[in-house]
Amino acid sequence: MKFDIITIFPNIFDGFLTESLLARAQKLGIIKIGIHNLRKWTTDRHQKVDDKPFGGGVGMVMKVEPIFKAVRSLRPDKKTRVILFSPRGKKLDQKTAKRLSKYQQLILICGRYEGVDERVAEYIANEVISIGDYVLNGGEVATIVVIEAVSRMIPGFIAKQESALKFDHAQYTRPEIVEIKKGGKIKRLKVPAVLLSGDHAKIEKWRKKHGALT
């Protein structure tokens, strides 16, 4: 899997994408990540990527031409998906992450300013994805979320692949009882008895009840 990121702030990704499992997966060749400065595809000496929106409005909007050129340059003749991020897009979930992991390449467009020319969503991106009903400064955080969620679905990224195919559930570890002082009283925080029972069927039932669906 190749992830190609189009952004005007390439240094944002330096730390996150070079640590932990993402770093390991890149070293092993399981995934590849390319970070591309959108300004590379501008033609003016100021490397301008934004302009005023027609009809007026607050702030600037990212132009369509540099994004079109970037995608055309990065998109080879193979199984590729071009993704734009917006709160108006389809909500990212585990099913979507698994579907996207089947592609050979994802091109991830990071918007900035007050948004992106709508023609990018209509004619360049294959789909528009949202990571939640809130507004961020840009698409870089959403890109990181997608890269991690999708990478977990790729065989070899996680040593125990079954961990990638399940959502998290409530978990406990030692000690079995923890005492804390709250409001002048001692509270004993216990591990649920079923987890100590050794009954695997009951434990699995409890986990399904106290976690998200697989």
Residue stretches of the annotated binding site for S-adenosyl-L-methionine: 111, 131-136
Spell out the residues 6+ positions from residue 87 whose beta carbon is closer than 8 angstroms to its own.
130, 132, 133, 134, 135
Q: How many CA atoms lie within 13 A of 43 on its CB side?
A: 5
- Helices 140-151 and 20-28 meet at what angle, rounded to 10? 60
d(CA 176, CA 197): 13
* CB 59 within 8 Å of CB 37: no
**Token representation of residue 196:** 């100590």
Residues annotated in a binding site: 111, 131-136
User: Measured between alpha carbons, how far is residue 119 from residues 64, 115, 136, 143 in Å?
Assistant: 7, 12, 21, 20
Tokens read off for 88: 């108006």
